[in-house]
Amino acid sequence: MPVLRNPRQEQLAQLIAMGKSATEAMQAVGYSDPRNSTRLTKKYEIRCRIVELQTRGADRALVTVASLVDEFDEARNIALERGQASAAVAATMGKARVTGKLVERLEVGASGEFDSMTASELQAFVIAGMAELVAQDPVFRKMLVEELKPVMHLIARPIGRGEQPTKAMQPDAILLASRTSSAN
């Protein structure tokens, strides 16, 4: 539907499409009696125009992973056509981030900070970090408790330097213990 011929009615439709109430829109547009908003907004042309504007706005606002991937592909193709390799790489990296193929990792603390820690100190550090997460997020706490129940006896005692993990601490044994307890 084209723009309404009456400029005040067009402005009214635009304001209502943006979320204002009919009374507020009528008052903003300058109608003398905004209480008649119901009568005016029942007009077929105005109702159709409001729906059209709302639909157009919803279409513009719809951003999906697929739409972002398309935009990155288009940007990459343009960059390659213009011989701009760095822009093409940037578009590819953006696409990888959006699709979850590229995960950025951050090292917490200074580089090599954990190298000087004993196994017991490292375990205490990790447990303190997990305790902080557990205190902040009850959902994480529940998930953590459920996941660690089957192997809690294996991680309760720290391993000292030079000490070899027992057979029970090998990954296969931990997986087996978690499977058998989750089946119960």
Rounded to an integer, what distance in angstroms lies between the CA atom of residue 54 and that of residue 73? 29
pTM of the model: 0.35
Most confident of 16-20, 147-151, 154-158: 16-20
Rounded to an integer, what distance in angstroms lies between the CA atom of residue 145 and that of residue 148? 5
User: What angle separates helix 7-17 from helix 22-29, to the nearest 10 degrees?
Assistant: 140
The model's pLDDT over 5-34, given as tens digits with 9 standing for 90+, comes to 888 888 988 898 888 888 888 888 888 887
The model's pLDDT over 45-76, given as tens digits with 9 standing for 90+, comes to 888 888 888 887 666 666 677 888 889 999 99
